[in-house]
Structure 1
Amino acid sequence: MTPRGETGTGRAAAGSRRAALAKARQSRRPSRLGERAGAAPKPDFVFDSNAGFPGLLARTWSRAAAEQDPGRAVELLLTLGGLVPADISLRALRCTEEAALRVLFGISWREPADKGRDMATADAAGPPAFLGELGLTTSGRVVLSVPSEGPLAGREKLVDGVLRIPWPAPALTAYEHEVGQASARSAAEAADCRAWLSATGPQGRDRLLDELKDAARRTAPFVLYQEERQYTNFRERNTLPGKTLWPGHPDCALSALQGIPLALWSDSDVVMVVCLALLVRSAGYARIEEANGTQLTVGHVAALLERTRRKYNAVPGGRRVRPAASQRVTELRTLAAAIRARRAQVTRSVQLYREIHGPLMHKIERVAEAPADGAREREQRICARLADRIPVTGGTLAEMSADIQAGADWLTRPHGAFGTGLESLVYETVSAARAAFDADFAMSRGLRSLPALIQALRHEDWARISGWELPEYFCCVVPAAGARRYFEDSADRLADVAWAISSRMQYNSWHFIVGNLPKVPEVEARDYFVPPTVPDIAFHSDQHHHGHVAAQVRFSIRSPQAVKVLDRAFGGFVDLRLLRCAGTPFGEQDLLAAQHVSTLLADATTATATLVAAGAEAEVTAFGPQWHWETVTAGESRCADG
């Protein structure tokens, strides 16, 4: 008999909820599936205090301190032991430090650099006129003490001690001249920026601040400097909106300026706002990351824009961009707008990509050469494998994409061990890419339910899409069997790492998808990044991100692609990622080949979405923790999903 007030259906529903809660409390780590989450007696992995960036800084400082040649020590510190271009660190120097390095070692990022002087190592009669200091901060910046500023230890967080740098008397004279020029330049820049902001009026400034708050919030971590002042959305005490600082917070440097008379803005804030606006104007929010880790001055931004202008103008065809007539804000705004327009032209004929230097989180935009033998050889290997595994034909990946679009019905039907052909294609493509690129891991991500997305789009249910959680997304991760050597030679540990990577990639899909939706309140309230549109190659990225450190992600390629669902293009909906834990970095030809692979994945997903829109069903049920456990430990793919 059913107790009063409780129907049989109610008891079944309660039982179903209890079962769901019990399952939710279980570990999703492949090696502990079915066990209660959080019940392990100790952590499976404990970070070494010297893992990642702290260890790199300690090793770099140790090498520099052992050098007898001050010039060689400076080179080691600027490049963090040869892992990053010196140009990035040089552009992070305060104006006094920049002047000191220029007169002491003849080093500068500015054009032309004066390579003739090296006063720190030149023979000088008598004792030094000044004994300065050289240090490395815990953020990776090279710092110098200069006359009248006092010891570094009193104002910087140093990795260790300092190196003493003797200044001969001629260096002091040259330094005084350099600093005088730099001070005059800085004052002129600040005055020009203030005049331009004044001309925009209070409402114009507020609109600009709103845009920049959104830019900081929707962009990957960055750290920028205005002399000793730091503007960042990354960890510690953020000064710009990001993961831990919401727009409007009193600590937000941008929010704090709204409603404040311009006369009360500091010169640092004035220049910061104008420089960020110039960067955004030239290519959208992502351009900010190309200034990451450097000083944010008009001169620095002008140099970045000029380098970009030259790169774009080197591409044949279209209208060339003229250089700025001066470094006045109005001239640079004209240049930034022209660069943005030129960028739209060049992307029709060449592949742009970003080079990421992980230790300093700095990105450099590059223009790729045409695909050559290296890219074609990798593509041919992938095509040969796919032709043996899935019902597609073609001698190139582009031909295979065309074949898929001409006859895509199999993508929504079971294929092999998978519930849909799309899942089979994703797995086989990722597996083929891992082998062809000799990667330790390869992966691709996406959305599990295209029918749910199409239904939500038809009803313009933006809140529903914004509310989807990580389990609504998937990522198929395929490691090399030999990658276990990086994880205690354990297949169990390798499976756990593969699933940890998969979970993180689900987060990335979650983080990007709503960036493609109308900016309604439900979307604006949600944490998201602007979806990526260009691929990138990363070097030594096993430094800051805890997941990268744990998974030993040293070298990588990311190739994002848009997918069309109904009439809406979803940028960054899928991607192909390739990782190496050690060995040789990926190169430009690898990236070009990866772009062709990710295009195939995107085209197949678009074709599946078209079939679903016409009434077919297609749900991705594979690529969960059980699937990764079985695939990695048994060496074969099954579609069971725990």
Structure 2
Amino acid sequence: MMNALPERGESRRAANARKRVSRRPSRLGLVAGATLKPDRVREADAGFPGLLKRAWQRAEEADDLRSFVEVLLTLDGHVPADVQLRALSAPEEAALATLCGLTWRTQETTTTAADAGADGDGGPEPVFLGEIALATSGRVVLRVPSQAPLKADQLVGGVRRVPWTQADLDGYREYLRRAEVRVAETVADCRRWLDAQGPQGRDALLEQAKEAALRTAPFVLYQQGRQYTNFRDHNTLTGKTLWPGHPDCALSSLQGLPLELWSDHDAQLLVCLTLLVRSAGPGRVEEANGTQLTVDHLAHMLERIRLGYNAALGREQVPPAASTSVADLNDLAVALRTHRAEVAGHAQLYREIHGALMHKIEKVARPYADAARAREDAVVARLTDRLPLTGDTLQELGRELAAAPHWLAAPHGDFATGLEALVYASAGAATEAFDADFAMSRGMRSLPDLISALREERWAEICDWEITRFFCCVVPDPSAARHFGGSTAALADAAWAMSSRMQYNSWHFIAGNLPKGPEVVDRDHFVPPTIPDVAFYSDQHHHGHVNNNVRFSIRSPQSVVVDGRRFNGFVDLRLLRCDGTPFDEQDLLAAHRVSAFTAQATGLAAELAAAGEEVEVTAFDSPWHWSAVTGQDKPASRAS
């Protein structure tokens, strides 16, 4: 947890008094939490519940079964159908493949040719009446033979009843038979592989899996009908709710337990988590979010990644797995991680995030093209107009800055340091050049303080720093007020809410860059991000995203070397659109160059600080955001 220690030179009483005063721009100086009612009340079904309701209503308008299912699989165009198809249990997968011919498996065929355009009218006599529905979790669920009716309280809007013919039943049974054989072989292979690790080896794998769950964003995984999650529902894995070693954690409960007493689900879970982590670190787990986590699903994912890596390298550098055995998939996972840095040297890796299901997909970007250059040109034009730099590209600006960086530590314009001016100019230029509603850039306020703590190895002190040790400059487009009732005050409040959250993110990542001593291990933190991402429909789950209309976004994290230590995710640039057109891959590539420019400036400022310059960022607090967004010195509510 964040420590409530006072800031430098501040008494505990003063610190507590400060915490009781609102930092919200429109309420500066007022007692926090004293309003009688919130300024904005969101709809009861805002976010994910509303999306599911609309998707179900849209699906009900479909004329045929396949069209109905396709709307549900994509949540009416909000997620790739492939994610939902891979979330189905084996019986559900068999049913959907038989009834609609829909499956994520490229080699799978059904024994009957399903007529996707009919629900049984005029066809053979139905022998079973099944159901298809949308669960409140967002999953497509089916009632199959021998199963009880779907539970109404877990569904979004009722069920669609689906008649099954004898041919459908025959096709379903054959598909399910093959699936059962495949699962039995896979489970036996997982158990053999785990047995070969020995008791100590299995315990080490469990520790690694728990650490991965603890240090990455929340996720939901399935093993047939069983759910493993550290997100909102009843938690069964280590995360924000369950501490490492908690008896309710499925992984913790396996430690020291003989392998023969493990369930088949748990055996597959540990094997798959192990291979995911070995292929790219804990972040890879999020790429299985919302899907079945089985060996064949994992094999499908690793093969897709392998093909992307080889395409980027221009040769068959990473060979395919010899089989789908755990041992061969382990070799593939290790090979992917081994060559990942080489791939990153040839092309930009990034993640595509589908917010509705919190699912991430690693992608290999296409080359930098005209659309990205146009964005960069627009940023450069604005930066050369606002900063003492010349050049036609961000790289040229960076070279000129590196040749004469000392102005970064001196006052510049309205700012106490040139670094502040550069951060603000970069974020403002990005807002305009990318047609964004908001752009923001975060970092650390006092590089000298960090350098001093690093030199004296005061790791516990760094871990105890509050979020106010960090900053985030948020620059909204004035027209973004339309998303907040036309109020510039509400726009300033939203900008500060984003700034405060980004300060937390800096706080949350910094410990992940420190030596793994007890004070760091015990400190809540995530593995710092190293590649950018582009997100679609993120205004679904996270309360802040729902409240502040965070729909489409780009995040571009960058590392910075501070006094010889590399800090991953030390700065980033984020772009946000509240509606309209999503950002695309070329936008991301251009944004990544903008964030790299800001990171370079931060690194140069760190060098100045290491040499004795006092480089402090004092701007970008709540009063600054109020003035910058509204043009007023202080809120009208506090004006005399």
The TM-score with structure 1 as length reference comes to: 0.95
1:392 paired residue among 384, 389, 393? 389
Q: Which runs of 5+ in 2 are unaligned?
A: 1-7, 635-640
**Aligned residue type for 1:143:** V
1:140 paired residue among 133, 138, 141? 138
C-alpha distance in 2 between matches for 1:101 and 1:387: 57
Tell me, what secondary structure is at the counterpart of 2:442? strand
C-alpha distance in 2 between matches for 1:16 and 1:343: 49
C-alpha distance in 1 between matches for 2:520 and 2:222: 31
Residue of structure 1 equivalent to 2:113: 117
Residue of structure 1 equivalent to 2:508: 511
CA gap 1:72/1:319 in 2 versus in 1, 3 angstroms:
closer
The structural deviation recorded for 1:15 is: 11
Residue of structure 2 equivalent to 1:524: 521
Residue of structure 2 equivalent to 1:128: 126
Residue of structure 1 equivalent to 2:196: 199
The structural deviation recorded for 1:69 is: 1.4
C-alpha distance in 2 between matches for 1:196 and 1:16: 57
Matches within 5 A, 1:482-631: 482-631=479-628
**Aligned residue type for 2:107:** P
Q: Does 1:44 align with 2:42?
A: no
The structural deviation recorded for 1:635 is: 8.0
Whether contact under 8 Å (1:91, 1:300) holds in the other structure is yes
The structural deviation recorded for 1:16 is: 6.6
**Aligned residue type for 1:377:** A
C-alpha distance in 2 between matches for 1:317 and 1:304: 20
**Aligned residue type for 1:55:** G
**Aligned residue type for 1:34:** G
C-alpha distance in 2 between matches for 1:142 and 1:63: 14
Residue of structure 1 equivalent to 2:428: 431
1:297-331, Cα deviation, whole Å (9 max, x unpaired): 10000000011111111123566111111111001
**Aligned residue type for 1:82:** G
1:225 paired residue among 217, 222, 247? 222
1:53 paired residue among 48, 55, 79? 48
Q: Does 1:261 align with 2:264?
A: no
1:281-301, Cα deviation, whole Å (9 max, x unpaired): 111111111111100110000
The structural deviation recorded for 1:45 is: 2.6
Q: Does 1:634 align with 2:603?
A: no
C-alpha distance in 1 between matches for 2:375 and 2:66: 42
| Identity over aligned pairs, percent | 61
Residue of structure 2 equivalent to 1:9: none
Whether contact under 8 Å (1:433, 1:442) holds in the other structure is yes
Q: Does 1:93 align with 2:93?
A: no
The structural deviation recorded for 1:23 is: 3.2
Tell me, what secondary structure is at the counterpart of 2:600? helix
C-alpha distance in 2 between matches for 1:251 and 1:23: 38
C-alpha distance in 2 between matches for 1:636 and 1:283: 48
Residue of structure 1 equivalent to 2:160: 163
C-alpha distance in 2 between matches for 1:153 and 1:20: 51
Whether contact under 8 Å (1:412, 1:616) holds in the other structure is yes
C-alpha distance in 2 between matches for 1:165 and 1:299: 29
The structural deviation recorded for 1:62 is: 1.5
Residue of structure 2 equivalent to 1:27: 22
Q: Does 1:298 align with 2:295?
A: yes
The structural deviation recorded for 1:47 is: 3.0
Q: Does 1:68 align with 2:66?
A: no
Whether contact under 8 Å (1:119, 1:167) holds in the other structure is no
Residue of structure 2 equivalent to 1:380: 377
1:77 paired residue among 69, 72, 75? 72
Matches within 5 A, 1:211-222: 211-222=208-219
**Aligned residue type for 1:399:** E
Whether contact under 8 Å (1:52, 1:542) holds in the other structure is yes
**Aligned residue type for 1:117:** A
C-alpha distance in 1 between matches for 2:10 and 2:172: 78
1:162-190, Cα deviation, whole Å (9 max, x unpaired): 11011111010111111111011111101
Residue of structure 1 equivalent to 2:460: 463
The structural deviation recorded for 1:523 is: 0.3
**Aligned residue type for 1:49:** A
Q: Does 1:327 align with 2:319?
A: no
1:152 paired residue among 150, 153, 173? 150
C-alpha distance in 1 between matches for 2:173 and 2:606: 66
Residue of structure 2 equivalent to 1:6: none
The structural deviation recorded for 1:636 is: 10
RMSD over aligned Cα atoms? 1.8
C-alpha distance in 1 between matches for 2:330 and 2:108: 26
C-alpha distance in 2 between matches for 1:607 and 1:592: 23
The structural deviation recorded for 1:339 is: 1.2
C-alpha distance in 1 between matches for 2:85 and 2:612: 58
Whether contact under 8 Å (1:217, 1:243) holds in the other structure is yes
C-alpha distance in 2 between matches for 1:220 and 1:635: 38
Paired residues, what number? 624
Matches within 5 A, 1:170-209: 170-209=167-206
Tell me, what secondary structure is at the counterpart of 1:360? coil
C-alpha distance in 1 between matches for 2:448 and 2:170: 72
Q: Which runs of 5+ in 1 are unaligned?
A: 1-12, 638-642
Residue of structure 2 equivalent to 1:107: 102
Matches within 5 A, 1:278-289: 278-289=275-286
C-alpha distance in 1 between matches for 2:594 and 2:539: 25
Residue of structure 2 equivalent to 1:10: none
Whether contact under 8 Å (2:114, 2:168) holds in the other structure is no
**Aligned residue type for 1:440:** D
Whether contact under 8 Å (1:537, 1:556) holds in the other structure is yes
C-alpha distance in 2 between matches for 1:23 and 1:186: 59
Greater relative CO, 1 or 2 (CA 8 Å, sep 6+): 2
1:415 paired residue among 395, 412, 418? 412
The structural deviation recorded for 1:22 is: 3.3
Whether contact under 8 Å (1:124, 1:168) holds in the other structure is no
Whether contact under 8 Å (1:511, 1:529) holds in the other structure is yes
1:440 paired residue among 433, 437, 459? 437
Matches within 5 A, 1:351-366: 351-366=348-363
The structural deviation recorded for 1:236 is: 2.2
Tell me, what secondary structure is at the counterpart of 2:296? helix
Whether contact under 8 Å (1:319, 1:342) holds in the other structure is no
2:267 paired residue among 267, 270, 285? 270
The structural deviation recorded for 1:25 is: 1.5
Whether contact under 8 Å (2:626, 2:632) holds in the other structure is no
The structural deviation recorded for 1:390 is: 1.1
C-alpha distance in 1 between matches for 2:554 and 2:10: 46
Whether contact under 8 Å (2:222, 2:290) holds in the other structure is yes
The structural deviation recorded for 1:343 is: 1.4
C-alpha distance in 2 between matches for 1:563 and 1:236: 37
